Structures are given as C-alpha cells and as structure tokens.
Structure 1
Amino acid sequence: MTADSPDTTLDTIRREIDSIDDQLVQLLKQRFAATQKVKASKANDGSIAASPFRPVREAEVMHRLIAEAGTSLGAELLVRLWRVILSASIQSQAPVTLHMDLALGHDLATRLLVAQHFCGMKVELHAGPSRALAAIEKARGDLALIAPSSNWAEGLGPEEAGMAQVVVTLPVLAMGSQPQLLVFGYAAPQPSGDDETLVLFPGAASPVPAAHWQTQSGTAMLAGLPGFLTHGLSTLPAGARIIGRYPRPIKVSP
C-alpha cells in the first residue's frame, strides 16, 4: 500500500463501520432524550391524555427523510427503520394497545403489516370490528385496526362530537388504490398538505368520480376523497358523514 492509497483492508472497513454504529447509538440516545422532553411538554398541556399518536408529525418525518435520502436509500428501508424508532418513541410517552377483530388477528399478512408499523405494541383481539371500536372508547389513547371492507360501519353509532375517527391508513407507502387497514383513534386531525378525507355513505352509493378509492363496508359505502375536508358535504347524498381525515399514503417514484 502506498502513502497516498486508502486503507481498504477488511479490518479497517469493519472498524469504520463500528465507529459509525457507535455514533448511531449516541444519536439514538439523544433522540430519545428529546422524546422525553416532548412527553413532559404534552403532560403540561394535557395533550398526551388523548393520544400519544401523531400521524401528521410521523408523515412529515417520513416525507422529509425520503426526500433527504434521494436515491441513496430505498423508501421502504427508511420506513421500516423509522417505524421502529417512532413506535418506541410513542410507547415511551404512554402505553398504547392495538385492538382488532379475530379475523384480522389471524391473518398473517395483516399481522406482519401491524408488526412492521407498530413494532411491539400490545395487541388485543375482539369478536368483531365493532367491539374493537368499542374498546378504544374506554381507553382513548389506544387504536383500533379495521379492514375497510368489513362490516364495522353497521355497528357505528350516530354521529357525535368526540367519536373515534380514522387517523391514518396502512400501509404508509402507497401499494395500491385502497388501503389495507383503517386506524381509528382520538388523535386530533390536522392537515399535512397531502391529505385524504374518508366519507361514509349510507347504503350502496353510486361511484364517486373524485374519490381516490371506494369500497362497500357491509351495507354502507366508504370513499376516500382528496383533501382535508371540513365541510362541503351538501353536494353528497343525504346521510353522508366524514369519519376521518389523515395523511395520504406516501407515493414514491420507481
């Protein structure tokens, strides 16, 4: 090896990797120390009592990191890595239990998706999606995971202030037109700049031209409409109601 040539022996490269790993650990320690400051701030203003889950903040983090990485790191890799970090951050602020019905709980693809996104959070199974929704009424920091095409909407009570709504859909990386899971919770909805509003129609509705997707849910119809809608349902059929506003799944160019 000459004086000007780089040292590329395997041992040297491994020492470099070890050094990087050590730096990552220190940065993670700093990040989780900052998370404790977030917890203290939320405790002071009372917001943590409702839910430690902040889907808009998480969407902003992932959009920024994916843009920062460019083509050097795949979006799926970044999402998987940061879901572990974000989930641990949530659980360090307050315990969160995930509620779902038995059919979802016994579906391997669903459990893998849940494990990848929520990384170690406690799961409770219920005899039907309506019971999963009822469970989070008693524990408002928890989340209910519902299949869009299941019959959960039939057991939904009348519209009222403070009811659980869809706060995010899974997967967070767009894999098709229709989400695999709806995540219900009590996190306050906030616009992210790229949002979708979920509308429930009574009965079998006609196709909604502007919808990103729609599906039958028991005797009701669901449609994901573009934007963070707060009004304007007067043009839709009578009885239509908003049941969620959330960040759209992230679209990544191939």
Structure 2
Amino acid sequence: MHGQFSLMEKPDIQTPELSGIRQEIDSIDEQIVELLCARFAASEKVRLAKTSDLLTGAMPYRPGREAVILRRLVEVAAGQVPVAVIERVWRTVISASILAQADVRIVTIPEVMSDLRYRQATDLFASLLPVEKASSMKAALAALSDGEQVLVVVPMKLDWRSVLEQTPEGKPARVVAVLAAGSDKPGRSLAVLGHAASEPTGEDETLLVTTGKLPRDFVPKPIWHLKLADDVYLTSIPGYLDMSEQPLVSLKGNTGLGLRIAGRYPSAMELSKP
C-alpha cells in the first residue's frame, strides 16, 4: 500500500540521540574485544607456566576454580546482566582457554543427546569443547581410561560406579562436577566424571556411595538421596569432606555400608532455565 511500510520494510529510524547511543555501543564492543585479547594473553602465560604438567597429560579443567570465578562474576554483575548471559559468555571463554592448553574432550551417551534438557546442559558446559557420543554407557565409561584429558557426562541416576575402580596410573575417576540440567531433582542431574583436580570452594558437596542408607540421625543433613541400584545409594552431603574426618570417620566401623566417596565438587548453580 502506498504511503505505508510492510513489516519487512520498516525504516531504520535515525535520530541524533539514537546515533549517539549506537556509537557508544560500538565503542563498548571494541573494548570487550580488547579485554578478551588481554584475557587470552594472560591465559597463554598460564599455559606456558604449566607446560611441564600439560606435557604429561594433566587435565587443565579445574572445576573448583571455575566455580569460584563464576560466582564472583555473578556477584559483580549484581543483577544488571542476566546470569544466564554471564554463564554462557564465560563458559565460552574458559572452554577456549582449556583447549589452548590441551585437547580436552567430552564423551556422553545417546540418552543425553536425545533429551533436550540434558543436551542443553551439556552443550552449555562444553561450549567449545568437542562432544563425542559413545554407543553405550560402557563405551563412555571406558573412554576414561584413555587418559586424564577426558570428561564423561552421564545421567546421575544411571549406574556409573565402575569408574570408581578405574585407575589409569593409579588414579580413579570421580564425580568432578554436577550439572543441574534445568531441574532441582537429583535424578534429573548430570554427573561429570573425570580426573580433574578437586579443591574446596566454600560451597561444596561430597557425594557418597553406600550399600544401604545412612543413619536417619546422620549430621549434617544430606542434601539429597538417590537409589542407584538394588541396595546401592548415592547421598550428597554439604561440605568438602574426607574419610579421615568427622562425620565420615564415625561410619568407618559400619562395614555393612560399604562407604566410599564418589566425588567432591562445587555445589551446582542453577543458572540457565532451558
């Protein structure tokens, strides 16, 4: 129609005020790129400082340090930037930094790739890290024996206990991180299995595997329970705990529990809703 614009023909309104705002945005974008250049230059210094460790196949992924950084950035943003944006941008930057240090890869299973929430959580966690789909759970877990630079992502509810006995060079795999996958239910979370170094962050969980449930009066109160198989339970308790300290040391005498630590990792942050 004459004198009117269709939805595809809306004019680009230019006013002095809008033009100035766009110039400001362009300047900020350039500053972001300059800061990214500085960030990657600093990461290269880290890589060079860690050369000897990386040459021996060490895992550059550090879940504890990453959790501390992400929590701090969210606090700095103070709600002015959506948390999901901070998470996605930072995960992209950190995954690029990891790849610059080593050929880290992620292995998962068909169930994860076919489930929307699982896939979104895995894609966000991996970002630029390559994700491979193993043919089965057994094949995915077997990939951990390829070396330390492999992370396996599987549903927490599946039986992955065999990794606790896998000992490449005497070091068994553990749960090094947990992905909430858009739900606060433990049965909907994802376990990240690998040989990444574990370190306390101040907001951590210790994951226990037992043959039977913990005593009802156990302190601290567990965060969640999950039945993994017949008479086999996962229990997440708050804190970065060791078998040689309370409250776990008091359970050593209960041989029927078959108590083992399956992992110590930063508490998951539910940042992105699929």
Q: TM-score normalised to the size of structure 1? A: 0.86
The alignment partner of 2:50 has SS state of helix
Correspondence for 2:260: 241
Q: TM-score normalised to the size of structure 2? A: 0.80
Q: Distance in 2 between matches of 1:217 and 1:139?
A: 26
Q: Distance in 2 between matches of 1:72 and 1:89?
A: 26
Q: Is the Cα contact below 8 Å between 1:201 and 1:241 reproduced in 2?
A: yes
Give the aligned residue type for 2:262: I
Q: Give the direction of change, closer, same or farther, for the CA distance of 1:127–1:234 in structure 2 (3 Å limit).
A: farther
Correspondence for 2:26: 18
Counterparts of residues 47-126 of structure 1 (less than 5 Å): 49-126=57-134
1:86 positional shift: 1.1
1:54 positional shift: 0.8
Confirm or deny that 1:218 pairs with 2:229: yes
Q: Give the direction of change, closer, same or farther, for the CA distance of 1:100–1:59 in structure 2 (3 Å limit).
A: same
Deviations 1:169-201 (A, max 9, x none): 1139x8525261111111121111111001111
Q: Is the Cα contact below 8 Å between 2:67 and 2:266 reproduced in 1?
A: yes
Give the aligned residue type for 1:246: Y
Correspondence for 1:183: 192
Correspondence for 1:163: 172
Q: Distance in 1 between matches of 2:21 and 2:116?
A: 39
Between structure 1 and structure 2, the one with the greater Rg is 2
Confirm or deny that 1:149 pairs with 2:164: no
**Among candidates 23, 32, 40, match of residue 32 of structure 1:** 40
Confirm or deny that 1:205 pairs with 2:213: yes
Give the aligned residue type for 2:36: L
1:90 positional shift: 1.0
Give the aligned residue type for 1:230: D
1:138 positional shift: 1.2
Deviations 1:51-92 (A, max 9, x none): 010111111111111111112122222112211111111112
CA RMSD of aligned residues (A): 2.5
The alignment partner of 1:199 has SS state of strand
Q: Distance in 1 between matches of 2:76 and 2:112?
A: 35
Give the aligned residue type for 1:213: W
Q: Give the direction of change, closer, same or farther, for the CA distance of 1:128–1:211 in structure 2 (3 Å limit).
A: farther
Q: Is the Cα contact below 8 Å between 2:43 and 2:97 reproduced in 1?
A: yes
Q: Distance in 1 between matches of 2:164 and 2:65?
A: 29
Q: Distance in 2 between matches of 1:157 and 1:201?
A: 13
Correspondence for 1:192: 201
1:106 positional shift: 2.1
Identity %: 34
Q: Give the direction of change, closer, same or farther, for the CA distance of 1:12–1:99 in structure 2 (3 Å limit).
A: same
Q: Distance in 2 between matches of 1:139 and 1:128?
A: 19
1:48 positional shift: 7.1
Q: Is the Cα contact below 8 Å between 2:209 and 2:234 reproduced in 1?
A: yes
Q: Is the Cα contact below 8 Å between 2:110 and 2:136 reproduced in 1?
A: yes
Q: Distance in 1 between matches of 2:223 and 2:55?
A: 32
The alignment partner of 1:51 has SS state of coil
Q: Distance in 1 between matches of 2:76 and 2:267?
A: 19
Greater mean deviation of Cα atoms: 82-91 or 41-50: 41-50
1:50 positional shift: 1.7
Give the aligned residue type for 1:136: L
